[in-house]
Amino acid sequence: MSWKTAARAALHGMGGLAALRMMSGQKFRVLTYHSFSEANQANVDAICGHIGRHFEVMTFPKMVEALKRRDGMPKNALAITVDDGYRNYALYGHPIFERHKIPVTLYAVAGFAAGELWLWPDQIEFGLLHTTKTSLAVDLGTGGILSLKLGSVEEIADANFILTEALKVLPNADRLRFIESFGALCGVEIPVTPPPDRAPLNWDELRELAAAGVEIGCHTVTHPIMSRLPSKTDLERETKVAKDLLERGLGRPVRHFCYPNGKPPDINDTVVESVKEAGFDSAVTCFWGLNSLDADPFRIQRLPFDSSTDFEYGVEVLAGLHLS
């Protein structure tokens, strides 16, 4: 047995996780999921069972209220969020959370819900998965060429990560132009609508989920990298206009916002101010971590989860490990 295996066994079997939860009990946790699948339902179910046994589950709006009061946050408070608004949440995620009586806040992309677009990282992945080419030379106009190998599943996954990350730092207009031309570069016709596993929840489905108790939040109109938007007008479209579109589509208020990608380079003071001016009560990031009661309601940190997250690793993240 390796020392890592022995350490994990001790952590799980000798009260280590309970000790970590006790040490961080005054901090609150916000989990984020994105996509769900039938094959991974058991993983989500197991994590939900653990959450029910060891954490004080709250609705995210109630958590935000406690944060703004700087009071009333229970020990080991936890909320669940889901980004993007894929239909597979309704199929494979919602039934599990509902069975465990765990409330969810789901951040929908307005243009995605309206059927006007599909998310740009999914288009990149689609092109790489369906091209017959074994390599690509990609010029992003930044002074160098990305040489991407596509000869194996592993190389395609690496290429997808490298290219997606490179696109995130481009000015918004340059990223959009590249995506428009990407199908031709790959020799692939990228369809107007996404494949079923990347399809969005439509307005009817979002309204049905909202009626069932899911809090619907805003994840912009087009899912841009907000710090790369060129003007205040563009920011207003992805915040205030997005809020208005969602509220009209849902027939109810939308109070909470989620920054696309949500890492430190994607969020600056101008972006945060635009979210506040649009009338939102909070905003969540993808800065990974636990939150103290003095946290900024417009820069709330979260814990990264996926439907494929295995139980042992997941409960360690919940205890506060693997975040650096």
The CATH number of domain 17-117+196-319, selected from 3.40.1670.10, 3.40.50.970, 3.20.20.370, 1.10.10.350: 3.20.20.370
pLDDT digits (tens, 9 = 90+) for 251-275: 999 999 999 999 999 999 999 999 9
For 32, 133, 138, 148, the CA distances from 186, given in Å and listed in that order, are 32, 7, 10, 11
pLDDT 10s digits, 66-75? 999 999 999 9
Contact (CB, 8 A) for 227 and 267 = yes
Confidence label for 25 from pLDDT (cuts 50, 70 and 90): confident
- Tens digits of residue pLDDT in 132-148: 999 999 999 888 899 99
Average pLDDT over residues 268-296: 97
Dihedral sign (CA 166, 171, 172, 176): negative
Report how far apart the first and last C-alpha atoms of the chain are (Å, whole number). Answer: 26
Residue 237: is its pLDDT beyond 60? yes
In this predicted structure, what is the pLDDT of residue 142? 86
Percentage of residues of the chain with pLDDT beyond 90 = 88
To which H or E segment does residue 287 belong? strand 282-288
Average pLDDT over residues 277-294: 97
- DSSP secondary structure code for residue 214 in this structure: P
Q: How many residues does the chain have?
A: 324
- For residue 47, is pLDDT > 90? yes
CA distance 278 to 44: 34
**Spatial contact of 212 and 157, defined as CB atoms under 8 Å apart:** no
In terms of pLDDT, which residue wins out, 41 or 9?
41
Give the pLDDT confidence score for residue 144 in this predicted structure.
84
pLDDT grade for 160, boundaries at 50, 70 and 90: very high
Confidence of residue 12 (pLDDT cuts 50, 70, 90): confident
- What would the pLDDT profile of 167-200 be if each residue is shown by its tens digit? 999 999 999 999 999 999 999 999 999 999 999 9
pLDDT the model gives residue 18: 86
In angstroms, the CA 210 to CA 252 distance is: 9
DSSP 8-state class, residue 20: H
Domain range summary for the chain, segments of one domain joined by +: 17-117+196-319, 120-186
> Whole-angstrom Cα distance, residue 78 to residue 51?
8
